[in-house]
Amino acid sequence: MTIWQQNDIKDRPAVIGPFDNSELVCLECYKPMEELYPCSICSLPLCSKDCENKPRHSIECKYFKNTKPNFTECERSTIYSSIAPIRMLEIQKENGYIWSLVNRLEDHLQERRRGEPWTFLQETVFPFMEKYCEQDYSLNDLERIIGIFRTNSVKWEDKVGLETRPVGHALCPVFSVLCHSCVNNTRYTIEDGLITVRACIPIQAGDEITTQYRGPNDGNILRRPDFKKNWLFDCSCVRCQDPTELGTHSSTLKCFKCREPTLYPRTSDLESEWECRSCGDIVTHSQALEITLRFESLLYGKLYSDPPPSWEIFIDDLEKYLHPTHFICMKAKRLLLQIYGSRDGYTLDKMSKEQLERKIQLCNNYIGKQANIYK
C-alpha cells in the first residue's frame, strides 16, 4: 500500500499580482512607498529607477510604454487590478506549457459575471485596459484569465527588504488543482518563491489530497459564507455538515434563555435556525451572527499590551455569552498563553506555580480543540 508521507509537492507561481486595494507599492519589488516614482518608460508606480526593466514589471511596462497612463488621475485599484491579468496574458502568449496548466483550471465565469465585483471590472478595469493597453488580446481571454485567477489564487508572501510580508495574490497552477476540505490532509508553506505542500497525516494511494482555502480557526458561522462568496461553492465536508463542528463548538453560544452553552444550529443548512439543546429555545441565524460579530469586535478592540489579569477578566466575560471553546474565546486564550512566559514580569522564571499551571492549561485546551478537528 502506497502512502504519500515523505514526498512534497512544490509549485512556483505562474504570476503574482498586487492586491486590488493595495497601498502604494512598487510593482517590481512590492516595497511600500510614501512617494510615487513613476517608471520613466510607462509611468506606472515603482520605488526607484533601479526597479525599471526588471522581470516582473517589464511585462506590463511593454503594454503601457506608449500610452503612459497618469497614475495620479487613474484609480489605484483600477491599475493594480489590471496587473495580474496582463502578466497572465503574457504567459498565454509566451509560455505554452505554463498556460496549458493554467488553462485547465476552473473559472466559474458565469457565476462571477453576476456578482458585484464583476461590475467593478466592467465599469473601470476593462475600459482602462482598452484605453491604455497596446497589446492585442480578446475580451473572452481576459475574462477567463480573471475568472481563473480569482477562483484559484492564494495570498502570497515574499521578502521585502529584511522582512517577509504579504505582497499580493499568486496563481500556482499545480497547487490550484488541490480541492478544499476543512479537515484537510496537507499543510503548505510559502518560502523562497515556492509553495510547498506536505502531508500532515498518512495519505493512502487513491485518497484525495486536500488543502484549505480558508484557515480553520474561525467558527463556521463566519467561515462557511466565505466559500460561497470567494470560491462559489458550498463546503460539504464533515466539519461543515456537523452543527457542533466535530465537537469543537467553535460557533456555539450560551442560550439567551437558560444560559447553558448549548445553542448551535439545528441543521447544517447555512441559514438554519439555532436551537438550545438544553431548553429548546430558538433564535434566528441573524441573531446568532449579530452576537458573534459583536464579541469579535470586542476582541479586536482589546489591547494586546493589557496585563494578564485584564485578559483573564476579559475571557471570563466572553464565557458568559460564548461556549468556552468558541473561536473567539480560543483566540483570546491563545493570546493570553503567549503573554504568559514572554511579557516583562511574566517570563517563565518569574511566574508563580499557579501562573505556570494556567499556561499549561491554556496550551492543553488549545491543542485539545485542534486535535478534535484533525484526529
| Pair (201, 131) in one structural domain | yes
Do 232 and 166 lie in one domain? The reply is: no
Mean pLDDT of the chain: 93
pLDDT for the residue 171: 97
Q: What is the pLDDT of residues 83-94, one digit of tens each?
A: 999 999 999 999
Same domain for 202 and 325, yes or no, is no
Q: Report the number of distinct structural domains present in the chain.
A: 2
Q: Based on the fold, state whether residues 54 and 14 are members of the same structural domain.
A: yes
Reading the block at residue 370, the C-alpha cell is 485542534
Whole-prediction pTM value?
0.85
Give the pLDDT of residue 43: 94
Any idea what the CATH number is for the domain that residue 261 is in?
1.25.40
Domain around 313: 221-374
Asked if the model's pLDDT at residue 263 lies above 90, the reply is yes
Closest among 2, 3, 10, 370 to 198, alpha carbons compared: 10
Same structural domain, 242 and 208: no
Residues linked to residue 166 through DSSP beta bridges, in sequence order: 157
Question: So what's the pLDDT on residue 375?
Answer: 56
Instruction: Tell me: pLDDT of 17 over 60.
Output: yes
Express each pLDDT in 46-87 by its tens digit. 999 999 999 999 999 999 999 999 887 788 999 999 999 999
Query: Looking at this protein, which amino acid is placed at residue 316?
Result: D
Residues 234 and 344 in one domain: yes
Last residue of a domain, one of 174, 192, 213: 213
pLDDT digits (tens, 9 = 90+) for 236-257: 999 999 999 999 999 999 999 9
Q: Can you tell me the distance from the alpha carbon of 137 to that of 63, in angstroms, rounded to the nearest whole number?
A: 11
Residues 25 and 150 in one domain: yes
How many Å apart are CA 367 and CA 248, to the nearest integer? 11
Same structural domain for residues 154 and 49? yes
pLDDT confidence tier of residue 6, bands split at 50, 70 and 90: low
* Same domain, residue pair 157 and 249: no
Task: Using the predicted structure, report yes or no on whether residue 273 has a pLDDT greater than 80.
Answer: yes
Question: Does residue 121 contact residue 82 with C-beta atoms inside 8 Å?
Answer: no
Question: What percent of the chain is predicted at pLDDT more than 70?
Answer: 98
Last residue of a domain, one of 213, 238, 258: 213
Based on the fold, state whether residues 113 and 169 are members of the same structural domain.
Answer: yes
Listed residue (278, 263, 277, 346) closest to 311, CA to CA:
346
Compute the Cα dihedral for 351, 354, 360, 362 and give only its sign.
negative
- Residues 99 and 232 occupy one common structural domain: no
pLDDT tens readout for residues 199-221: 988 889 899 999 999 989 999 99
Residues contacting 97, CB < 8 A, separation 6+: none
Last residue of a domain, one of 155, 180, 213: 213
Q: Are residues 253 and 147 in the same domain?
A: no
